[in-house]
């Protein structure tokens, strides 16, 4: 109606007046300014870092961990919502922004039903693929990301921005360096048998060769890991109850890096000690800083990607448990390494040009013997005994023995044909479930058909197992232990080779830090419940790319408001308790 009236008015306008009307000013469209992008994405994943380590030990940190909290966005209620809280699973989740039900990395290793053997998440049977060693090393095996069913964030970034992105990852563990990188990368490097190695699908880099030769792990032979703070600064007893230290180490500090025998040269035990020490964290940090220098990361046309998987905290946690001086001390030293890393990035890439995320792949349960001192119900869920009970129950129904092919973590795999038969044999299935529930420490048993296709459910544990369920790879039955009961696969009569572990849907395994800092990040403390699966979608939002199969969401509460974004790198806000309050909606 308004348009018709206006047109009619124009027609009736006297000709003279129309001639005097000044010409219309047509705005010439200016080229829209593209949103600014970070020059470098830095992903830091600390293996087995519980969220409460930040709360407990922050006051003792002065370096990079402290800076992440003070200058960054600290998500204090971050937790994995799925059951399979293991290393390969967590790193693939952070890397892809998807749950294991989507990315398919359901465990560090699983039972391959076709091959009838255990396979690791990165083992690649392709005869054309092989691992390659730096500095003359000749590693075994072939590891790639071929089993990861979706691309990583880094792969998507490189693909969607015309290949200008360089992707570089480092870790002690293959399953970490590989899942963080994706199917291809400019460098994905891990540690095996005393050397840095990679796979033929990634290829080698001259700067890593140079570092492997000039600063080999064996150069740390003979060093001693001693307490770095005054003794009264440590929370726990000098001897962690129930600890199982690496070969050649005592239960108490100091821990000498001299192998098992204390002999004159590096042996396999020395390399285990090294990987369980702060020296390995420092070596990873140095490699990352070399990568920044050699490849000019953050200085080229695209957004580059650098990821470090800090593995030693995991080895230390498995050996000494979360209530140990070893955990407290290795974090003090990691804080220093990260301080050095950020100082290097400030100098080379520029403060405000890079964005960092730090998280963990899972937490850890206290050592059962330690937990028992509180009077709590805690113990060892002995999986070999459970397997025997199930086999025995099925023998009564004339099933072939052994009916169970493998129990791996929570997953029970039956021999070929057995589970298909059980699904139509209610009496035998009930006998199996009853037998499993008789094993001390078992809280519940779930069947695969309860978890398929992400069922709508009110049960947080069914939902957790469903988020981890990937058809063909996951087990037939799933064992939920009681809280504080450790899944233990130690053969009967053998001593346990570790103090404690992780891998179940309880908060001690699921609750991990999520910290973001730098380009586009609004500092503060955030208590919204989030998960590490949200990191990749947040990176994707900052870089303006799309993830195909994400299960996470953008951590929008910690992003600077868009007005600041379009006009270049953001001003850095200083952390204060009051500014933290203001960031909450």
Interacting span for Zn ion (CB under 5 A) from 298-306, 314-322, 342-350, 491-499: 314-322
Structure tokens at 235: 């929370």
Q: How many residues bind Zn ion (CB under 5 A)?
A: 4
Shortest spacing between CB 254 and Zn ion, in angstroms: 26
Q: Please enumerate in sequence order all residues whose Cβ is within 8 A of that of 540, keeping only pairs 6 or more positions apart, or say none.
A: 97, 153, 156, 157, 546, 547, 550, 554
For residue 148, give the nearest of 88, 104, 94 by alpha carbon. Answer: 104
Do residues 510 and 80 lie in contact, with contact meaning Cβ atoms separated by under 8 Å?
yes
Residue 47 or 488 having the CB closest to Zn ion: 47
Residue 355 or 512 having the CB closest to Zn ion: 512
Structure tokens at 52: 């409460």
Do residues 374 and 48 lie in contact, with contact meaning Cβ atoms separated by under 8 Å?
no
Shortest spacing between CB 310 and Zn ion, in angstroms: 10
314 binds Zn ion (CB under 5 A): yes
Residue 295 or 533 having the CB closest to Zn ion: 533
Residue 217 or 364 having the CB closest to Zn ion: 364
Residue 337 or 509 having the CB closest to Zn ion: 509
Q: Which of residues 341-380 bind Zn ion (CB under 5 A)?
A: 361
Residue 169 or 522 having the CB closest to Zn ion: 169
Q: What are phi and psi of 266, to 5 degrees?
A: -60, 130
* Helix pair angle (312-320, 325-348), 10° resolution: 170
Q: How many helices (H) and strands (E) does the chain have?
A: 23, 20
Shortest spacing between CB 362 and Zn ion, in angstroms: 5
Q: Which of residues 220-259 bind Zn ion (CB under 5 A)?
A: none
Shortest spacing between CB 88 and Zn ion, in angstroms: 8
Interacting span for Zn ion (CB under 5 A) from 39-47, 455-463, 539-547, 556-564: 39-47
| Nearest residue to Zn ion, by Cβ distance, number only | 87
Interacting span for Zn ion (CB under 5 A) from 286-294, 313-321, 372-380, 525-533: 313-321
509 binds Zn ion (CB under 5 A): no
- What is the C-alpha to C-alpha distance for residues 543 and 302, in angstroms, rounded to an integer? 10
Q: What are phi and psi of 290, to 5 degrees?
A: -60, -40
Site pattern 83..102 for Zn ion (x: CB under 5 A): ----x---------------
Shortest spacing between CB 474 and Zn ion, in angstroms: 19
Residue 143 or 391 having the CB closest to Zn ion: 143
Do residues 213 and 292 lie in contact, with contact meaning Cβ atoms separated by under 8 Å?
no
For residue 287, give the nearest of 135, 415, 151 by alpha carbon. Answer: 135
Shortest spacing between CB 173 and Zn ion, in angstroms: 8
- What is the C-alpha to C-alpha distance for residues 327 and 333, in angstroms, rounded to an integer? 10
Residue 93 or 328 having the CB closest to Zn ion: 93
Separation of CA 207 from chain center: 26
47 binds Zn ion (CB under 5 A): yes
How many of the other CB atoms lie within 10 Å of CB of 311? 28
- What is the C-alpha to C-alpha distance for residues 257 and 276, in angstroms, rounded to an integer? 10
Binding site for Zn ion (CB under 5 A): 47, 87, 314, 361
């Amino acid at each position: 109606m308004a348009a018709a009236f206006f047109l009619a008015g124009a027609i009736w306008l006297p000709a003279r007046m129309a001639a005097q009307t000044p010409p219309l000013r047509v705005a010439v469209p200016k080229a829209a300014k593209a949103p600014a992008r970070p020059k470098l994405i830095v992903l830091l994943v600390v293996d087995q870092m519980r969220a409460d380590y930040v709360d407990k030990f922050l006051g003792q940190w002065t370096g990079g961990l402290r800076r992440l909290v003070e200058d960054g966005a600290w998500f204090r209620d971050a937790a994995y919502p799925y059951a399979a809280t293991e290393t390969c699973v967590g790193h693939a989740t952070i890397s892809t922004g998807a749950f294991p039900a989507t990315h398919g990395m359901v465990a560090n290793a699983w039972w391959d039903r076709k091959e009838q053997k255990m396979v690791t998440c990165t083992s690649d049977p392709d005869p054309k693929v092989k691992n390659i060693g730096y500095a003359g090393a000749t590693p075994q095996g072939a590891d790639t990301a071929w089993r990861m069913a979706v691309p990583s964030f880094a792969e998507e970034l490189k693909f969607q921005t015309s290949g200008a992105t360089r992707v570089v990852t480092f870790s002690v563990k293959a399953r970490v360096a590989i899942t963080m990188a994706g199917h291809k990368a400019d460098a994905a490097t891990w540690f095996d048998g005393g050397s840095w190695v990679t796979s033929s699908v990634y290829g080698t880099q001259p700067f890593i060769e140079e570092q492997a030769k000039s600063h080999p792990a064996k150069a740390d032979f003979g060093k001693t890991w001693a307490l770095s703070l005054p003794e009264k600064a440590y929370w726990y007893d000098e001897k962690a109850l129930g600890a199982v230290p690496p070969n050649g180490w005592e239960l108490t500090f100091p821990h000498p890096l001299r192998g098992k025998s204390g002999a004159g040269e590096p042996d396999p035990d020395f390399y285990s000690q090294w990987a369980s020490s702060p020296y390995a964290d420092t070596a990873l940090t140095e490699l990352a800083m070399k990568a920044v220098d050699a490849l000019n990361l953050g200085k080229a046309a695209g957004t580059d990607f650098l990821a470090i998987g800090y593995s030693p905290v995991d080895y230390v946690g498995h050996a000494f448990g979360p209530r140990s001086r070893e955990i407290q001390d290795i974090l003090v030293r990691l804080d220093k390494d990260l301080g050095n890393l950020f100082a290097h990035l400030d100098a080379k890439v520029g403060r405000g040009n890079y964005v960092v995320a730090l998280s963990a792949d899972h937490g850890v349960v206290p050592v059962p013997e330690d937990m028992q001192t509180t009077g709590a119900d805690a113990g060892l869920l002995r999986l070999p005994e459970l397997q025997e009970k199930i086999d025995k129950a099925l023998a009564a129904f004339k099933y072939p023995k052994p009916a169970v092919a493998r129990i791996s973590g929570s997953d029970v795999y039956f021999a070929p044909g057995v589970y298909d038969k059980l699904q139509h044999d209610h009496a035998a299935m009930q006998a199996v479930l009853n037998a499993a529930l008789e094993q001390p420490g078992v809280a519940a048993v779930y069947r695969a058909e309860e978890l398929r296709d992400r069922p709508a459910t009110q049960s947080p544990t069914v939902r957790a197992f469903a988020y981890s369920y990937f058809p063909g790879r996951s087990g037939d039955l799933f064992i939920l232990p009681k809280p504080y009961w450790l899944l233990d696969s130690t053969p009967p009569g053998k001593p346990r080779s570790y103090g404690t572990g992780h891998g179940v849907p309880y908060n001690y395994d699921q609750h991990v830090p999520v910290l973001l800092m730098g380009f586009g990040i609004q500092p503060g403390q955030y208590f919204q419940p989030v998960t590490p699966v949200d990191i990749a979608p947040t990176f994707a939002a900052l870089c303006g790319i799309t993830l195909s199969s994400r299960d996470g969401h953008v951590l929008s509460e910690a992003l600077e408001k868009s007005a600041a974004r379009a006009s270049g790198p953001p001003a850095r806000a200083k952390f204060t308790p009051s500014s933290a309050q203001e960031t909450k909606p």
